Amino acid sequence: MKSRRGREPGLRKRAVLYFTAFVLFILCVIYLFQVVLLDVFYRSVRNREIRKVMETVKSGADTGLSIEALDELSSQYRLCILLLSVDNGNFTKVYACHSNPDCVLHNLSDDELKRLYSEAAESGDYKETVIGGKGLNDDEGDPPDRFRSVIRTGLFTSGDGTSYVVYLDARLTPLNSGVMTLKSQFSCLTLAILLTAAIAGYVFASKISAPLSRINDTAKRMASGDLSLQFPVEGYRETRELAGTLNYAVSEIRRSDKLQRELIANVSHDLRTPLTMISGYAEIMKDIPGENTPENLQVIIDEAKHLSELVNDMLDLSRIEAGVKKPEITVFDITSTVNEVLARYSALMTHDGYDISFVGTPDTINVRADRTMIIQVLYNLINNAVNYTGEDKKVIVTESLHKDEEGREKVRITVKDTGEGIDPGHLHEIWDRYYKVDKDHKRAAKGTGIGLSIVKSILEAHSAVFGVESSRTNGSSFWFELGVEKA
């Protein structure tokens, strides 16, 4: 086990780390836009607004902009407007609006206004001039932001030939103090948000990791052999589903464990009984001269056969399940194969009165499968039918053709008996290894509880569809389907 110090960071640590990193990133983006680039954005927006006002005033001179409209423009965009008509160097006031009490524009002398006019005329009808609070001729360096104005001077001529000059005093509200406030607020905000993110990450991760830790603890205790435990079903949907799946897996292990115990009890009983019979009869035949009869010998032969069947069944199943025994696929005729298998039951039919019939097509139906394995499936199903059929000793094997949902031709083999059937509650369990409906293991009820699991493993290895229908009155019908191979 790794030492605590050398361990990778857990879910909680990672969540705290990722949450804070994410929040830090978001804060950086906000800082960039809200603090670093704020001034740039502000200036560009303000310039756009002022240009718009300038255009509106110019076009208004032509279309007759009312005083009210100019007042509204001035207050909406927080700037002062001065509109003068120019005639032979004489300036006549057309309109003036004061929306800003600190306005520099309205404190400018006529000379200063004329100078701005000629500067604008020199630079092609438009000029922006930065002016300090003390006036145009301030030469004591840059004025403080509080007194700073940008006077925009625009010249134009209206449709009736009148020349105009418009001055806009657009104050750029100093942002420095706002930015400083934002900066100091930002550090507190960053700390608070980072702390909240870390706590949120920790709480969120704890909610996920706590049930996982408990599942882990339960699994460790289970590994030491206590299969009676249950995984706690709690937390989020995914962890609840995980616990549910693990509980299902454990219940399956428990069931298999129980079946295995039963098998050991059954198999040891099954092995012991024929062995006792074999050794008992052999000793009698050896010690008592008159007992060396063919009947006694037959008992030994039958018991030895039963023993080898038992061992073979167990070996077959473990080989198929371990994947050692793989289907060797060939194309063969299923009709003749069923007939061949049924022929081996003729002795049973003539001596023990069994009525095993076959209802099939006379035609050849080719299938692609492992013939030996399919013969084993048929044997296991027919043996079960013979063992569990009713007093009329009837077993019917049917072969029928049909098309599946995708239009592929299938042949279905059904083995039906007239026995007591299987309780619906046990139907899904009979395919399990070692499962026997008859728990009071009677020697008379033959079998090891492995036959149907061999059938299931073989048919699954062929990806074949199979099933069973059973009722107390009609007996059981076991069936499987194989794809028909076109000639």
Question: Applying CB under 6 A, which residues contact ligand ADP?
Answer: 380, 384-385, 388, 417, 419, 422, 430, 435-438, 447-453, 476
CB neighbours of residue 81 within 10 Å: 24
Taking the complex as a whole, how short is the minimal distance between the CB of residue 443 and ligand ADP, in angstroms? Answer: 12
Could you count the other beta carbons within 10 Å of the beta carbon of residue 136? 18
Nearest distance from C-beta of residue 214 to ligand ADP, angstroms: 39
Question: Which CB, 20 or 376, lies closer to ligand ADP?
Answer: 376
Read off the DSSP letter of residue 439: -
Least CB distance from residue 315 to ligand ADP, whole Å?
A: 15
Question: What DSSP string describes 289-345?
Answer: GGG--HHHHHHHHHHHHHHHHHHHHHHHHHHHHHT-S----EEEEHHHHHHHHHHTT
Shorter beta-carbon distance to ligand ADP: residue 282 or 437: 437
CB of 439 to ligand ADP, least distance (A): 9
Comparing CB distances to ligand ADP, the nearer of 303 and 417 is 417
- Comparison of 136 and 263: residue with beta carbon closer to ligand ADP: 263
Cβ 197 to ligand ADP shortest distance, Å: 60
Q: Nearest distance from residue 200's CB to ligand ADP, in Å?
A: 56
Give 116 or 422: the residue with its C-beta nearer to ligand ADP.
Answer: 422
> Is the CB of residue 171 less than 8 Å from the CB of residue 81?
no
d(CA 285, CA 298): 12
Burial class (CB in 10 A: 0-12, 13-18, 19+), 271: middle
Task: Fill in the amino acid letter for 12.
Answer: R
Helices 451-461, 294-322: inter-axial angle, 10-degree rounding = 40
Concatenate the DSSP letters of all residues of 176-216 into one string: HHHHHHHHHHHHHHHHHHHHHHHHHHHHHHHHHHHHHHHHH
Contacts of 38 (CB under 8 A, 6+ apart): 175, 178, 179, 182
Phi, psi of 111 (to 5 degrees): -65, -45
CA-based max dimension of the chain: 159
What does the block give as tokens for 187? Answer: 């550090």
Q: How far is the CB of 265 from ligand ADP (least distance, A)?
A: 14
Nearer to ligand ADP, 160 or 440 (CB): 440
Contact 450, 262 (CB under 8 A): no
Using the minimum distance from each CB to ligand ADP, give the nearer residue, 166 or 341: 341
Do 414 and 400 touch, CB atoms closer than 8 A?
yes
**Residue 112 vs 417, nearer CB to ligand ADP:** 417
Least Å distance, CB 302 to ligand ADP, is 17
Q: Find the shortest distance in angstroms from Cβ 298 to ligand ADP.
A: 23
**Residue 146 burial (C-beta neighbours within 10 Å; 0-12, 13-18, 19+):** exposed
CB of 435 to ligand ADP, least distance (A): 5
CA distance 137 to 131: 8
Residue 290, CA atoms < 13 Å, CB-side half-sphere: 0
d(CA 345, CA 348): 5
**Which lies closer to ligand ADP via its Cβ, residue 313 or residue 370?**
313
- Tell me the β-bridge partners of 414: 398, 479
316: tokens are 């077959």
Cα–Cα distance, 243 to 212 (Å, whole number): 9
Q: Judged by CB, which is closer to ligand ADP: 211, or 419?
A: 419
Please report how close the Cβ of residue 483 comes to ligand ADP at its closest, in angstroms: 25
**Which of helix, strand or coil describes residue 367?**
strand
Q: How far is the CB of 478 from ligand ADP (least distance, A)?
A: 6
- CB closer to ligand ADP, 214 vs 446: 446
Q: Which two tokens stand for residue 121?
A: 């005329």
Q: Which residue is nearest to ligand ADP (CB)?
A: 447
| Nearer residue to ligand ADP within complex by CB, 414 or 476 | 476
